[in-house]
Amino acid sequence: MDADALAGRWADGPLAAWAPLLERQVAEGLSPARHGDLPRWQAALDALPEIEVAAVHLDRARVGAEAAAPLAPAQREALSAALQGLHPWRKGPYELFGLHIDTEWRSDWKWDRLADAIAPLTGRRVLDVGCGNGYHCWRMRGAGAAEVVGVDPSPLFVLQFQALNRYLRDSAVNVLPLPLEAVPRPLPAFDTVFSMGVLYHRRSPLDHLLALRDCLRPGGELVLETLVIEGAAGMTLMPRGRYARMGNVWFLPSCATLLEWLAKVKFGDARVVDVAVTSTDEQRSTPWMRFHSLADFLDPEDPGRTIEGYPAPRRAVVVANAP
């Protein structure tokens, strides 16, 4: 990742306040001292074969690229082995030169549920918070975004993004090894900010909403996706211990409560655009994510409950505008 080049591009624009911090932040986020597996992941990245790209597809369920010529068996084997070296693949799906990366999540289903409910992304600068390996960043770019910045603190996901970008080759999409807290505040530089699958991991959901608001230009759009429960305004589930075997779940509001939170921090025109129960077809184990997945987190006698007895995962998409 050429953080210095990216900082240079940002130096004279709306992201200028972030530019001087970028090189140090990226170096710290990808430091081997931070994660002992980084050298192994970097070796997998370095083992990717050279392949001439004929076409790139960012507006399909399987984001990916086509080769100029059919891959030789040795090329295909090297590609698969290198990408498997970056296991587990959670967000996707992808298809590189005929190789289907069948990820844990059918993230394209989430995209399909929100794509027609948000402001058109054409020409917009977009921030994707907790973006994982950047699947939705690519879909945002495919929908016309002028620039997409993803932030995620997991080095593995950032290296997965770099592996994909080895072939997709788009300098307008970047995934940085950072949490939202590393973004300078305020930085009202983004036309659209996405936070999907993050809010329930925050001890203070209102502080998270305020941080997202500080990244938006006046009138900019927030696209928020999070776990919710059924219920009236004021209802919130705070799990004791784990929720669906996740240990860092703090608050699951009802949709009405979530709208009240957004109003409390001065977002306007907040509306729920989708609610869906997560199915074991949408989140599951695959050869590209061989650990336990949703089916292992639900009560085998009652799939409408988690293994701990809470309501099974239900996710809402809410759209709102910054003041």
φ and ψ of 125, to 5 deg: -95, 125
What is the signed CA dihedral for 168, 173, 176, 180, rounded to 10 degrees? -140
Tens digits of residue pLDDT in 290-317:
999 999 999 999 999 999 999 999 999 9
CA distances, 57 to each of 14, 37, 66, 105, 162 (Å): 29, 31, 8, 19, 16
Task: Note if the pTM is more than 0.95.
Answer: yes
Tens digits of residue pLDDT in 244-290:
999 999 999 999 999 999 999 999 999 999 999 999 999 999 999 99
**Is 313 within 8 Å of 294 (Cβ atoms)?**
yes
Query: Measuring CA to CA, which residue among 109, 114, 89 is closest to residue 99?
Result: 89
Confidence check: pLDDT of 213 > 90: yes
What is the rounded average pLDDT of the residues 199-224? 98
Query: Measuring CA to CA, which residue among 294, 290, 272 is closest to residue 281?
Result: 294
Sequence spans of domains, the chain: 3-321
Give burial (CB, 10 Å; 0-12/13-18/19+) of 134.
Answer: buried
pLDDT at residue number 198 = 98
pLDDT at residue number 5 = 94
Question: pLDDT band for position 169 (50/70/90)?
Answer: very high
Alpha helices in the chain (DSSP H): 3-10, 19-29, 38-46, 73-84, 107-114, 135-142, 155-168, 205-213, 255-264, 294-297
Query: Measuring CA to CA, which residue among 316, 297, 165 is closest to residue 253?
Result: 316
pLDDT at residue number 2 = 87
- Locate 203 and state its tokens: 């001890």
pLDDT at residue number 140 = 98
SS3 22: helix
Confidence check: pLDDT of 156 > 90: yes
Tens digits of residue pLDDT in 278-294:
999 999 999 999 999 99
**Is 135 within 8 Å of 114 (Cβ atoms)?**
no
Tens digits of residue pLDDT in 37-83:
999 999 999 999 999 999 999 999 999 999 999 999 999 999 999 99
Tens digits of residue pLDDT in 80-126:
999 999 999 999 999 999 999 999 999 999 999 999 999 999 999 99
Confidence check: pLDDT of 1 > 90: no
CATH number for 3-321 (one of 1.10.606.20, 3.30.70.1150, 3.40.50.150, 3.90.1150.10): it is: 3.40.50.150
pLDDT at residue number 176 = 98
**Is 149 within 8 Å of 7 (Cβ atoms)?**
no
CA distances, 90 to each of 114, 131, 132, 182, 289 (Å): 20, 11, 8, 24, 7
What is the rounded average pLDDT of the residues 136-163? 98
Q: What sign results for the dihedral spanned by CA atoms 301, 281, 102, 275?
A: negative
pLDDT at residue number 291 = 98
